[in-house]
Structure 1
Amino acid sequence: MSGVVAVGIDDSVSAAKAADWATDEAARRNAALRIVRVREPWASEYPIGRVGGFEAALTDHCRGMLARAAQRAAARAPGVTAGTALPTGAVVERLLQESTTADLLVVGGRGMGGFAGLLLGAVGLGLAGRTVCPLVVVRGYTDDQTHVVAVGVDGSAGSEAALRHAFEEALLRRSAVRAVYAWTEPAFASLSGLFFEEKITAMRPWLAPWKEKYPDVQVSESVICRHPVPALVDASKEADLIVVGSRGRGAASSVVLGSVGHGILHRAHCPVMVVTSPGPR
C-alpha cells in the first residue's frame, strides 16, 4: 500500500498526537505524509490584524510550526517522506479539499479553539461523514498497542465500507479484527437470549467475504444486546483503532453522520476511523 496520509495541525497537544499517529500510519502504508496548517483569514478582521507586520509574523509562525512538525515526523519515522502545506481559508473546507486527493485524513480530537469541557472539536465534527477519503479522529493515542482493530457492524452499506477498511488496517498492523454487532430490543430485553442465535446467524455472511479475502487476519465476533454507542465505546478501551461507517441502519439518508458515529467520536478511548458511506450524502 502507498498513497498519501494528510494530517491537519494547529498549536494544540491534540494536533501533535494526531501528527504522530499520521506519521506512524504513513510508515505502515509506505505512504507520503502531508502536514497541513490552514491559515484562517479571520485575523485580518480584528484590530490586531491591521498592525504592521502582523500578517507576516503569523505566516512565519505557521511555517515554523510546519517545519517543526516535519522534523518531528522525520525523527519518528525516518523512512517517511513528509511534505507541508499552508493553505488559507476556513479550516473544515480546506481539509475537505485535502480529502479529495489523500488516501486518509487525520485530525486531533480537539484543537486550539475547543473548550476544556468539549469532548470533540468543531473541526473533527465538521469533517466527519463529509470527507471523500476515510477520516481518523485521534483520541487516546499511546505507543502501547493491543493489536486489535474494532469495527461496528449492522449489515448496512456503511458497515460494509467500515469492514473493508478494518480488515485493511488489521493486515497493515498485523492485528486482529473484533467485529461488534450491538442491538437493542427494548420490549424484550429480558428475553434477549432468545435472539442471540438469530443475530449471530445474521452476522456471519457480513464477515464471510472479508475472512476469505484476508485469511491471515484473526477475527472475533461480539454480539451484544446493548445500545451500539456504549457497546462500541467499551470495545474501544481494548482496541488500537475503532472503525465505523458514517451512517448505519438507523440513520436517514439525509444525515451525513449517524447518532452512533457521533457518540463514538465523542466518547471513544482510541482513535476513530469514520468511513464515508456510499450513496446520497
Structure 2
Amino acid sequence: MSQQIVVGVDGSPAAAAAVEWAADDATRRGRDLRIVHVCEQWSQNQGTEHCEGALEAAADIARGLATGVKVTTELLTGNVVERLIAESATADGIVLGSRGLGGFTGMLLGSVSSAVAGHAAGPVVVVRAPQRAQHGRVVAGYDGSEHAQAAMQYAVEQARSRHARLHVVTAWQVPSLSPYGVAYAQLIEQIMEEQPRRARELVEPWRTANPDLVMTDEQPCDHPATALIRAAETADLVVVGSRGRGGFASALLGSISHAVLHHATCPVAVVRPPAEKDA
C-alpha cells in the first residue's frame, strides 16, 4: 500500500468538501495526495473541458490547504466505480463526496460512494459537506469482528493524528423472546448484566495498547446504527467496519455501515480488512 490518499472529484460541492478533508488528512498524516477525475464516455463525447476543469479546481483547493504535501492529478477514463476501486488497491485510502454530478449522481448517499465503500480494498471516507465545527472526537463502532478491528486500527491512527479523543461505541440489543418474555425474565436480566460487561472487555486491549490516547467507551442497549448516528452528532469522524457480526449484521457493505453513511452528518470512514477480497 502506498503512502498516498486518493480523492475522487467531479466538480460538485460534496467533491470539493472531500478535497478539503483529504488535504487536511494528508497534511496531518504526512501522506501524498492524488486527485483523480474519471471522465466517462458520455463526458468524452461532449469534450473533456468539464473533466479538466473539475480536476484543476480541485487541485487549486488542495494546494491551498495541504501544507508541505505533494499533490498530483490525473484524468482517468472508463467506468467511475471500477476505476476508483482499482485506485484503492494501492492507496492509503479513498475520499469521496457523498453525492455529486455526472458519474457521481445518486440518491442521498450516492450510487458511486456506496459502491466504492462496499468494494474498495482499503478505507473509504465519505464526506457530505465542509465541516467547520471541530469536536476533538473520533467515534468508532466496535463489535470485535475482523472488520471492526481494521476499523479500530484506522480510528486509532485518525485520533492520534488529530490529537483527539477516541470514543468507542459497542451497542447491543436484547434478543426478542416474545411472546415468552415473562417466562424468560431471569434470562433477560442476566443478558442485561453480562452484555455491557462483555462489550467493555472488548475495548480494554485497545486501551492498553494505546496509552497515549484518551479513549472513552459506551455500551448502549440500542440498535448499533442508531447509537453511532447519535454519537456522530458530536464527532469529527465516524469509523465503521464494512460489515460485522451480531448487531453489525453482515452484507457486502453491511446494514450498519450503510445506515451510518446515509444518516451521519459528519464524515464517515468505512474500512475493510486489508487481506479481504471480493468473492
For residue 66 of structure 2, the aligned residue among 69, 77, 80 is 77
* Change in CA separation of 1:266 and 1:63 when aligned onto 2, cut-off 3 Å: same
Q: In structure 2, what is the equivalent of residue 235 of structure 1?
A: 231
State whether structure 2 residue 141 is matched by structure 1 residue 156: no
Letter in 2 for 1:151: A
Give 5+ residue unaligned stretches, structure 2: none
Q: Is the CA contact (8 Å cut-off) linking 1:246 and 1:257 kept in structure 2?
A: yes
Partners of 1:94 and 1:119 lie apart in 2 by 22
User: What are the residue-to-residue correspondences of 1:1-12 with 2, within 5 Å?
Assistant: 3-12=3-12
| Runs of 4+ displaced beyond 6 Å | 188-193
Q: Structure 1 CA distance, aligned partners of 2:221 and 2:227?
A: 9
1:161 Cα offset (Å): 1.2
Where 1:183 maps in the other structure, the secondary structure is: coil
The 8 Å contact of residues 173 and 221 in structure 2, kept in 1 or not, is answered as yes
CA distance 1:272–1:252, shift in 2 (3 Å): closer
CA-to-aligned-CA distance 1:190-224 (integer Å, 9 cap, x gap): 97775454223212342223222221111111111
1:203 pairs with 199, 202, 206, which one? 199
**2:241 equivalent to 1:245:** yes
User: Secondary structure at the residue paired with 1:230?
Assistant: helix
TM-score, normalised to structure 2, is 0.88
CA-CA distance at 1:249 after TM superposition: 0.4
Measured in 1, the distance between the counterparts of 2:258 and 2:22 equals 22
SS at match of 2:245: coil
What is the rounded CA distance, in whole Å, between the counterparts of 1:80 and 1:97 in structure 2? 23
Contact 2:5 2:32 in 1 (8 A): yes
Partner of 2:84: 95
Q: In structure 2, what residue type is equivalent to 1:18?
A: A
Q: Which residue is equivalent to 1:265? A: 261
1:17 is paired with a residue whose SS is helix
From 120, 137, 146, the counterpart of 2:135: 146
- 2:217 equivalent to 1:217: no
Aligned-residue CA RMSD (Å): 2.3
User: 1:6-53: per-residue Cα shift (whole Å, max 9, x none)?
Assistant: 000002100000010000000011111100000101346xxxx3xxxx
Q: What count of residue pairs does the alignment treat as equivalent? A: 267
Partner in structure 2 of residue 181 of structure 1: 170
Instruction: Give the residue type in structure 2 aligned to 1:9.
Output: V
8 A contact 1:129–1:275 mirrored in 2: no
Is the contact between residue 238 and residue 269 of structure 2 (CA under 8 Å) also seen in structure 1? yes
Amino acid at match of 2:114: L
Instruction: Give the distance between the partners of 1:233 and 1:19, measured in 2 at CA.
Output: 23
Partner residue, 2:155: 166
Letter aligned with residue 223 of structure 1: Q
Identity percentage over the alignment? 43
Identify if the C-alpha distance between structure 1 residues 252 and 260 changes in structure 2 by more than 3 Å, giving closer, same or farther.
closer
Query: Which is further off, 107-116 or 265-274?
Result: 107-116
Residue 125 of structure 2 aligns with which residue? 136
- TM-score, normalised to structure 1, is 0.87
> Which deviates more from structure 2 when the two are superposed, residues 130-139 or residues 62-71?
62-71
